[in-house]
Structure 1
Amino acid sequence: MYIQGFVVPVPHDKKDAYIDLARFVGEIMRDYGALEIMEAWEADVKDGHTTDFRMAVKAQEGEKIVFSWVIWPDKATCDSSHEKMMQDERMQGEFAMPFDGKRMILGGFDPVWTLGR
C-alpha cells in the first residue's frame, strides 16, 4: 500500500468547483489503479502558534483547507498512473483550477501502521 497526501487552500466560494474537479480527476485515478480517494473540507482547523495547516499552504482570507489522500496498491502503480493520466485524452482539456496549485503541499507515504474501519 502507498498513500499520497495533499493539503490545499481553496477559496470558500470555489467549493463546488473543487468538488467537481476532484470527482473528475478521481474517476481517472480509479481507472489507473487508485483504491480509495478522500477529499475532506475544513470543518475545524485551528490556528496554531508555531505552524498549522493554514501557515503550511499560506492560506489567505476566505480560503478553506482541503485535506485529501489517495490510497494506491503500491508506489509503482501510483507512479505509472501519473504518466498514463497525463496522456489520457480526458486530461487534455483546459482546466479552471479552483485553487492556487503553487501553494498545495503533497507527499507520498509508506504506511507503518493502520487500524481498519
Structure 2
Amino acid sequence: MTYIDGFVIACPTANRDAFIAHARMGDAVFIELGALRVVECWGDDVPDGHTTDFRRAVKAESDESVLFSWIEWPDKATRDAAMARMTEMMTDPAKADPRMDPAKNPMPFDGKRLIFGGFVPVVDMTA
C-alpha cells in the first residue's frame, strides 16, 4: 500500500512564485527517488477555527499564506530509502545535488514552522 508524507507550511504570500520554482526543483528529486506523485497546494479557503486551525498550527502571519502538500510513495521502504538518499545529497559533498543545496535552491519560507509527518492510508477511494 502507498505511503504519504504530508506537509503544512506558512509562506510569505509575496514569495508565491519563488515557492513554485523551489518546489518544482526539489519535487523533481522526490520523483527521481521513487515518489509516485507530489502535490503542492496554495491556500485558497483556509478559515480561522475556534480551537485550532492551519494558520495557527504554522504560526502564519497576516502576510503569509498556508500551503498543504503531500508526497505519495509506492511504500514506506521506498520513502525511507529516498529520505536517506536526500540526506546524503545535503551532507556528503561527493553525493551533493545542487537542487538540494540551500544556497542554490533556498527555501522561500521559514522551515522552522514547517509541519510534516508520514502517514499510512487507511481509506483510499476514487471515482
TM-score tier after normalising by the smaller chain length: over 0.9
Distance in 1 (alpha carbons) for counterparts of 2:118 and 2:102: 26
SS of structure 2 residue aligned to 1:70: strand
Change (3 A) 1:54 1:93: closer
Match runs of 1:30-49 below 5 Å: 30-49=31-50
Alpha-carbon offset, residue 3 of structure 1: 0.3
The residue aligned with 2:83 is 82
TM superposition score normalised by structure 1? 0.94
Aligned pair 1:107/2:108, yes or no?
A: no
TM superposition score normalised by structure 2? 0.87
Alpha-carbon offset, residue 92 of structure 1: 3.7
How many correspondences in the alignment? Answer: 117
Change (3 A) 1:51 1:93: closer
SS of structure 2 residue aligned to 1:16: helix
Q: CA RMSD in A?
A: 1.2
The residue aligned with 2:92 is none
Unpaired segments of 5 or more residues in structure 1? Answer: none
Distance in 2 (alpha carbons) for counterparts of 1:46 and 1:98: 23
State the identity as a percent: 48
Distance in 1 (alpha carbons) for counterparts of 2:25 and 2:63: 24
Alpha-carbon offset, residue 93 of structure 1: 5.6
The residue aligned with 1:98 is 108
Alpha-carbon offset, residue 76 of structure 1: 1.1
